[in-house]
Amino acid sequence: MQKKGFLIIFSGPSGVGKGTICQELFKYEELNLAYSVSMTTREKRSDEIEGLNYFFVDRPTFENVIKNDELLEYAEFVGNYYGTPKSYCLEQIEKGKNVLLEIEVQGATQVLEKITDAVSIFLIPPSLEELESRIRGRKSEPESVLQARLAKAADELPLQSNYNYVVVNNTVEQAVAEIKTILEQEIANRI
């Protein structure tokens, strides 16, 4: 009999390195990870692939999915809906995959109410000053957006107590090693 997988919720403030760390974690086949594919009402970009980057749907379809309780979580952002389809995640878990859900804190709260045995990991910067330095280093946003991201980070950091694990991202290598150890322990505990 195939062992079921589990859901991994991975959150942290913008600019803390979630995307980079997720890419590194997928290099470890023994973690048996599957990436959660979100659903959205925003337009598909030319380089995006249906079912890989997102499931693209129109607004009435998304609202019907909400009404039928087919999402683990959803939010509206800049006029578009984004959400995590329940069926896709549960299918992957049934196949024995450990589904990695990189998600903001409000969505994580919704998911944890529905999937109580999910493993939740909150990634934090060594300090708000270091986070500011990293975001500034990107040189990708105007000052007003940067300040908004930092203010949101300051609001999100106290929510780390809602998570099973908190990992400080001093370096990508250290954070990846720590999260890999956490996931290996969770896998071993579920056998």
SS3 189: helix
CB-based contact 122:167 (threshold 8 Å) = yes
**Would you list which residues are annotated within the binding site?**
12-19
- Among left, alpha and beta (phi > 0; psi -120 to 50; other), residue 69 is left
**Would you list which residues are annotated within the binding site for ATP?**
12-19
d(C-alpha 168, C-alpha 64), whole Å: 39
d(C-alpha 82, C-alpha 90), whole Å: 18
